[in-house]
Amino acid sequence: MKFSKICKNKLFYLISGVVLNILPCICCFFYYQTKLFASPSQFIFEFFTINWCVWNSIITVIYNLREIKAIKSNQQKGRGNFDLVVPASNLATIIIFTTSFLIMGNLETKSSLFWWTYILIWHYFAPIVALIYFLKFIKTKRIDFNDNTKKVFSPAFFIITSILAVFFLTNLLRRFSINPVYFESPYYFRKFFVWWFAYLEKGEIIQLLFWITISLFIFWLSLYLLLRVKKRYFPKTIYSVKKKKLFSLVNEEIN
């Protein structure tokens, strides 16, 4: 099969997305095996609660498997809000990682080639595959497109906000439920992955709310940018719904 045909195959992007999201998770277990063996339960607790990229991978893998099942069974899957939520989450992952690394300088950088390889896969290659799949293959109704582009409180953004709220609360739950001994030698587990949660410990609520607002803005901006790019460069993936009038045989196009 020619490479050009492979690039037009939905399954290529979906399966690649599953592999590229699971592989870094496995690599992470190997890289931090010292912490894993020191306290397996606390490592698992940390891994699945404070890392947004893990949450993004879980959401993406579940979505991709659902898409693969629909394709294999020749089902006509109705388009839903998660068709927008998943790519927005992946684009936000790229933006957050890049911003943290280049501007804030608060990431724990490593010189290991192994670390850089799985980190780049996790934060760039896997999300880019998800974005390409959305832009090339996901059909979007013009009505839904206009609603999600113009309205801040669209259904897709409401789902994103709900997921973020659960993520934030899970981070805080872990911080105040874990034994403080695990933050010290020989474990060195992190209190927070979201560094600005430390403002809560200091009682600086205004700063905390500011960064929560910034996070929500990044996800809304991701959704907005994706839809604008889709409209400009992939117009064939945006379709209109025709509604038949009650006493007429003429279809009326809804824009």
Per-residue pLDDT reduced to its tens digit, 80-136: 788 989 999 999 999 988 887 776 655 555 668 888 888 899 999 999 999 999 999
Q: Convert the chain into a string of H (helix), E (strand) and C (coil).
A: CCHHHHCCCHHHHHHHHHHHHHHHHHHHHHHCHHHHHHCHHHHHHHHHHHCHHHHHHHHHHHHHHHHHHHHHCCCCCCCCCHHHHHHHHHHHHHHHHHHHHHHHCCCCCCCCHHHHHHHHHHHHHHHHHHHHHHHHHCCEEHHHHHHHHHCCCCHHHHHHHHHHHHHHHHHHHHHHHCCHHHHCCCCCCCCCCCHHHHHHHHCCHHHHHHHHHHHHHHHHHHHHHHHHHHHHHCHHHEECEEEECCCCCCEEEEC
- More confident of the two residues 88 and 8: 88
Per-residue confidence (pLDDT) for residue 247, from 0 to 100? 45
pLDDT in tens, 53-88: 999 999 999 999 999 999 988 876 656 788 989 999
Q: Is the pLDDT of residue 209 over 80?
A: yes
Per-residue confidence (pLDDT) for residue 254, from 0 to 100? 41
- The pTM for the full model equals 0.85
Per-residue confidence (pLDDT) for residue 74, from 0 to 100? 82
Hey, where are the domains in the chain? 3-254
